[in-house]
Structure 1
Amino acid sequence: MKKVSVIIAVYNTEEFLVECLDSVVNQTYRNLEIILINDGSTDQSTAILNEVARRDERVICIHNEGSKGVGAARNLGLDQATGDFVYFLDSDDFIALETIGRLVENIGEYEMLTGKRIRLKNKEDSKIDNMVGEEVDDGMEIEEGEEKVEDAQVHLGRGVQRTFRGMSALHILFSHDFIKKNQLRFSEKVDCYSDLAFITPVIKKLDTFPFLTRCYYFKRRRNDPISNPALMQLDREKKVSDFLLIYNHLQDLYGTDERVSSYLDWLFLNIYRKQVIMIFSDNNRIGELFNELATAVEKVDLSKTKKLNVVVKRELKLLQERKTDSYKKLIGFHHFARNTKRAVKGRQKLYIQLYRSVFMNKPLKEKTIVFESFLGKNYSDSPKYIYEYMVKNNLDYEYVWIFNEPGKELPGNAKQVKRFSLAYYYYLATAKYWVSNSRLPLKLNKREGNVYLQTWHGTPLKKLVFDMNDIYSANPNYKKHFFNQSRRWDYLISPNQYSSDIFRSAFKYEKDMLEFGYPRNDILYQNDNEEYISSLKERLHIPRDKKVILYAPTWRDDEFYEPGKYKFALKMDLKKMREQLGDDYVVLLRMHYFIADDIDTEGMDGFVYNFSKYDDIAELYLISDLLITDYSSVFFDYANLKRPILFFTYDLEKYRDTLRGFYIDIETEVPGPLVKNTEEIIDAVTNIEQVKVEYQDIYDEFYAKYCAWDNGKAAENVVKTVFGTDVKKLN
């Protein structure tokens, strides 16, 4: 039985490494030499590698002091390899359990053999045992062009591009003799595209590139390209610079070979159109790469570029002639034409183009403030209370509120603008100040001089953004998008020291933190009196002779229709609660603003009141005698009132251990009991005075830690800090 040397370069991939190694050590083909090159990892990867080497005698583990790059790591692996065949695997990917066996069985006299690559969207798609010999699940995305090819003898030109279009040596079983005979090595001069130095001579030497069906390699898409990016998630400038370096080098070595030259030119033209042109959307950056790029274009056979549009062909010609000024003008026209073409495809695209090219060039309105709360869904939260404080004190500003449905009753004379209307883009482009409690769209470029006050919308219980290992939401680019959106924040409001510490870590936030408590909680101190609460109940048509239970759950990351539209199944038996609690209580429902479903309360009139679309939850806190929640941050705010709280945690294990994880121990630190079903809810409500006594000490500690900064003056302190030069009269 022939031996296969599996070479895996490892650098800080602890999150995925166990699964990768399990997929190799458990291969049905057993005659393996598993060479692990630890390229200076600083996380727990070293411990994981040492453990697998201890357990499996087939494993050879080599530790580099400091990172030398993936090319150097793989070359070191080649130096150690003694197998008949060599197979490369990335440490954040994995393979089906029969993959290597199938490759060995079918390689025959070929010098190499590859199979199907499948790109995974997130970690929850990793189900090795279910994938052996199976076709791709619906939840996975097959890389474009990876169709089935039953005949291993494929057309040469098509075979080169299909096999090596990813510029990768991964998932290819190579004859070790072929590697040694042709002295194949990876480039150590670049971080990205180091494989090109290895595979280019393969293209030169071989005439056929066999492909085996039902032989799977699972390519993972990392969900955190900010903290620990994969090589191909590095910034565009780095990738382009590395490509130009290796392209020029390989053209000098192999450019006389028609097959290799055609392949390299094909790669260059793809990268030019998809990467280089995008870098040059900023005309000032052309000089940084111009000479290197021009040197590369001199090696391109422009006679083979007939399929390119005339503008790109002219750009390449100007590069060859090194006419910098003419090239800059043409690139400017290229982007203008590109943006114009996009703009005419739809109203929103047109508005975005107007935002960037017209509105952002207008003078900045120094006295204009744009407010938005919960993506324009309502008039609420800290933006509301900051606005009302400014109106009450007659501050001289032009106020603009963004709503999905304008026509709200607001104090003052604020202009109401429909979200995503032309006016929306105009005011956001020209207003000096933005005030929002959630993220504004990525497409809204922030101009110089603009001040963005991010109020946020809760004390974190659930793990946030960069403190989360896995992403189970509808958007696999969540972390990347969040990072880019949050770079625009100039101020971030924090309700307590605990939140400040988490915000710094989870948001990677380094600018000004306003540690005053939440303006939205001011009302809980200013209006916690019988007169105000009674009038509020009357306005909301809530019986004044009954106590009020507020149920305010959060959303579940994995239950969604589409990005931003989440499901929720009510687990509370309202009928049973009405039977046993209806004489003394009513229930108010307040769902999270992400939840798309309308909760069915038919037959519950007089007992259940659905206030899910009510703008201001702080007012519902005031009229409630008791809160029931789950993993929502509402209980941190409600605790300011020092009223009882129950935690309906029917799916605690799944939510805590799989979906999000918590910052605190919810089973010991929260100021109230955890209940798992309707019967336990009813029992706790019936004996609420006993519950209060039992949890009094925990509640006091909780209040001191999370509520101490709130005192009814948060809005005042925020306004004086952010708009200080205009509010001196308030001091």
Structure 2
Amino acid sequence: MTSNQEQKVSIIIPYYNSMEFVGDCLNSVLFQSYSNLEIIIINDGSDQENTLYIEQSVTDERIVYIKNEAKHGVAFSRNQGLKKATGEYVFFLDSDDLLTENAIEILAENIQDHPAIIGQRKRLLRPTDMEMPIEPPELNVEEKSSRTLFKGGSILNVLIKSDFIHEHNIQFYEETQGYTDMSGIIQFILYVEKLPTLNIRTYYKRVRNDPISNPSLVQRSIEERTKDFVRIYLDMVKAYGGAEGAKQFLDHLFLHFYRRQVISIFTDEKHFDEFFTLLATAVNVMDPSLISSQPSHIRKELTHLRSGNKEKFKKGLQFHIEARDFKNAIKGFTRLKRYIYKKFFLKRPMKDNYIIFESFLGKNYSDSPRNIYEYIIENNLDYQCIWVFNDKNRKIPGNAKVVKRFSLAYYYYFAVSKYWINNMRQPLHLVKRQGNVFLETWHGTPLKKLVFDMRDVYSANPRYKRDFYMQSRAWDYLLSPNSYSSEIFRSAFKFDKEMLEYGYPRNDILYAPDKEERASRVKEAIGIPKGKKVVLYAPTWRDDDFYEPGKYKFQLQLDLHKMKEKLGEDYVVALRMHYFIADDINVEGLDGFAFNLSKYDDIAELYLISDILITDYSSVFFDYANMKRPILFFTYDLEKYRDQLRGFYLDFENDVPGPLLRTSDAVIDAIANIESLKKDYAERYDTFYERFCSWHDGKSTEKVVKKLLFGENPKPKQ
């Protein structure tokens, strides 16, 4: 595409503490196919680190940098940008969003005699969402009603002629933080009947993956957003309410906001009166004829707001909530079970001696929850234990009640059990009652960056950080295996309750006096030939390669057939995939050599039988190091995993207690020369053991149980 680039486009970018995003944003502007740009960046009182970052980024001669000494808000910053803009066109861009590479060129080429033109935009949940369609659609321009185009209340992704801005004195409302686009849009509603819109994507609207640490304006609390919306609505009606089209547009925006947010606004009883008064004020300036066109329950609520009848409004709202919940419940059995849980089970008395256990999403009888449970039954403690499994017919030792995950029984026992013990995050819809005690055992020492220490989210759930934060607020205790983990957990999980620094109960088996006998029994049960040494291969999952949340792809890179050919006389291989991996590993033609033990319950028992561990970036090597046996790292995709997908807490190349190997041949050679490797890495291994394993003494389970159930504190670590 070629276009006349004689006319300058001023791109106005307010910036506030968004250094993790603005680099991508600026690059998307600087490398536009349309080069005649004026890029106005307004630093709206960012902190020192963010200010330093943006000021070091201002290197292109087309950039105009403005610094507000204090935070005034996005509207103030846009108004500052408009004062500086010298282009024939203006375009507003948020500092966490991005443009497609020819966005400005396409918009400028097709605006023609119109005062503005609008492109298509896409929500950007994760970096991979920027992948372009294989066959982009053929360009099409269609004129639509301004009211229709701006019904979302956003002025982003709109190329506007400066003459129109000056003629109608477009300014942004500075009295609120959010919803200030309404004050820029209103002039289009007043004076422009139709505008052209493209069918081509020109804009990526980022949904910030961390609404906890640094939320966007739309990720603030519902209370803040409601106050902002009602205030700007009232002031806009006061200023433009005499114009029929503008008033109707504003009223429809208010109704849209009300219908989407009203239930959330009134969830907190403490602020009921405040928000009733606020919304009643807004309803009383709205055109009353619009009320009659609403659904009956909304019509009644608005009528009670208008008349100021709190009690009738409260009853109507409660009916609205109940009706919504019931209507949702009857859409399927899964929803119905959750409805019964919240409406009935949560009202049952809590049972102080009930403990509910779950490990790896119900897939295993394993890990620290298993150790804690077995300690309870072996010591005849007076507790009713409930275990959650995906298979309701699962058999385990002791007299525990076994329930199927997400069954009615599952919801009943989660509702009435005082103690919850889990090594994963609990489902978001479970409600922690007053009196519940939640022990989160977690499931490893972190190598890969976790949650709030991650910059981007590549996993199947783009709301990973938000969900994790909400789930972890329910944890009363969190287990830690070493001081390194304690520090990371507090940062990555934003955990501020009690850390139990006792080591992991699951590792007690590695120090048990009968561990050799147990290893022999496990080998025999699996069918490993006598006299053969065991290599355990336990890789992790890749965040960006998935079918759906919780189901990740995995293509085996280790050449097992070559391993069998070279090492088969002395070794067998035990394969243990991560519990997230959905693929079955093909071991056809490897009978007697490769054993797929991915569904084996307790990986600690596989540690016991293994002479060598091969892993990559899985945290299993931290636990295996308790054995002081050789560890090999098969890291064929190290750069991608380290630099793009996750990032590491350790200096991986220099701190891990074994060699980093890129090919199957290198792995085979290392195993063939394992005794020499053990000597080469002995000093590093000792240092690693002291740092990550020294808290373990075989008594972690006892310490945890005595603390959790009896409030006893073990002797402090020496």
TM-score by length of 2: 0.95
In 2, distance between residues paired with 1:217 and 1:191? Answer: 23
Moved more, 397-406 or 27-36: 27-36
Corresponding residue for residue 696 of structure 1: 682
1:130-158: per-residue Cα shift (whole Å, max 9, x none)?
A: 7999449xxxxxxxxxxx86333x3x3xx
1:125 aligns with 2:129: yes
Corresponding residue for residue 143 of structure 1: none
Determine if contact 2:329/2:339 at 8 Å carries over to the other structure. Answer: yes
1:560-616: per-residue Cα shift (whole Å, max 9, x none)?
A: 111111111111111111122111111111111111111111121211111111100
Determine if contact 1:465/1:507 at 8 Å carries over to the other structure. Answer: yes
Moved more, 37-46 or 606-615: 37-46
Kindly state the Cα deviation for residue 16 of structure 1 after the two structures are TM-superposed. Answer: 2.1
In 2, distance between residues paired with 1:260 and 1:438? Answer: 52
1:77 aligns with 2:81: yes
Name the SS for the 1:594 alignment partner.
Answer: coil
1:447 aligns with 2:433: yes
In 2, distance between residues paired with 1:532 and 1:70? Answer: 65
Over the matched positions of the two proteins, sequence identity in percent amounts to 54
Corresponding residue for residue 90 of structure 1: 94
Aligned pairs for 1:163-182 (under 5 A) are: 164-182=150-168
In 2, distance between residues paired with 1:43 and 1:660? Answer: 26
In 2, distance between residues paired with 1:117 and 1:664? Answer: 39
1:13-32: per-residue Cα shift (whole Å, max 9, x none)?
A: 22221222122223333332
Name the SS for the 2:121 alignment partner.
Answer: strand
Moved more, 324-333 or 20-29: 20-29
Q: Counterpart of 2:148 in structure 1: which amino acid? A: Q
Match of 1:161 among 142, 148, 160: 148
Corresponding residue for residue 646 of structure 1: 632
Match of 1:275 among 261, 266, 270: 261
Determine if contact 2:509/2:515 at 8 Å carries over to the other structure. Answer: no
Q: Counterpart of 1:468 in structure 2: which amino acid? A: M
Kindly state the Cα deviation for residue 206 of structure 1 after the two structures are TM-superposed. Answer: 2.5
Aligned pairs for 1:504-653 (under 5 A) are: 504-527=490-513, 529-653=515-639
Q: Counterpart of 1:600 in structure 2: which amino acid? A: N
Determine if contact 1:465/1:506 at 8 Å carries over to the other structure. Answer: yes
Determine if contact 1:69/1:191 at 8 Å carries over to the other structure. Answer: yes
1:450-495: per-residue Cα shift (whole Å, max 9, x none)?
A: 1110000000011111111111111111111111111111110000
Moved more, 571-580 or 106-115: 106-115
Count of aligned residue pairs for this structure pair: 709
1:95-117: per-residue Cα shift (whole Å, max 9, x none)?
A: 23333233334333332222222
In 2, distance between residues paired with 1:530 and 1:614? Answer: 19
TM-score by length of 1: 0.93
Alpha-carbon RMSD across the aligned residues, in angstroms, is 2.0
Match of 1:8 among 13, 17, 27: 13
1:412-446: per-residue Cα shift (whole Å, max 9, x none)?
A: 21100110100000000111110000011001111
Determine if contact 1:407/1:416 at 8 Å carries over to the other structure. Answer: yes
Describe the shift of the 1:538–1:103 C-alpha distance in structure 2 as closer, same or farther (beyond 3 A): closer
In 1, distance between residues paired with 2:521 and 2:363? Answer: 25
1:373 aligns with 2:377: no
Name the SS for the 1:723 alignment partner.
Answer: helix
> Where do 5+ consecutive residues of structure 1 fail to align?
137-147
Name the SS for the 1:628 alignment partner.
Answer: strand
In 2, distance between residues paired with 1:232 and 1:214? Answer: 25
Moved more, 189-198 or 215-224: 215-224
Name the SS for the 2:652 alignment partner.
Answer: coil
1:199 aligns with 2:203: no
Determine if contact 2:703/2:713 at 8 Å carries over to the other structure. Answer: no
Name the SS for the 2:579 alignment partner.
Answer: coil
1:362 aligns with 2:348: yes
Moved more, 85-94 or 619-628: 85-94
1:284-327: per-residue Cα shift (whole Å, max 9, x none)?
A: 54223111100001122232345421011000000000100111
Describe the shift of the 1:26–1:586 C-alpha distance in structure 2 as closer, same or farther (beyond 3 A): closer
Determine if contact 1:39/1:69 at 8 Å carries over to the other structure. Answer: yes
Name the SS for the 1:74 alignment partner.
Answer: helix
Name the SS for the 1:63 alignment partner.
Answer: strand
Corresponding residue for residue 150 of structure 1: 141
1:187 aligns with 2:187: no
Corresponding residue for residue 72 of structure 2: 68
Describe the shift of the 1:520–1:359 C-alpha distance in structure 2 as closer, same or farther (beyond 3 A): same
1:21 aligns with 2:7: no
Kindly state the Cα deviation for residue 725 of structure 1 after the two structures are TM-superposed. Answer: 5.0
Corresponding residue for residue 34 of structure 1: 39
Corresponding residue for residue 685 of structure 1: 671
Q: Counterpart of 1:160 in structure 2: which amino acid? A: R
Determine if contact 2:88/2:163 at 8 Å carries over to the other structure. Answer: yes
Match of 1:104 among 84, 108, 124: 108
Match of 1:290 among 266, 276, 287: 276
Kindly state the Cα deviation for residue 505 of structure 1 after the two structures are TM-superposed. Answer: 0.7
Q: Counterpart of 1:673 in structure 2: which amino acid? A: P
Corresponding residue for residue 144 of structure 1: none
Moved more, 189-198 or 496-505: 189-198
Match of 1:222 among 208, 214, 221: 208
Match of 1:49 among 44, 49, 54: 54
Determine if contact 2:122/2:201 at 8 Å carries over to the other structure. Answer: no
Determine if contact 2:266/2:275 at 8 Å carries over to the other structure. Answer: no
In 2, distance between residues paired with 1:554 and 1:373? Answer: 17
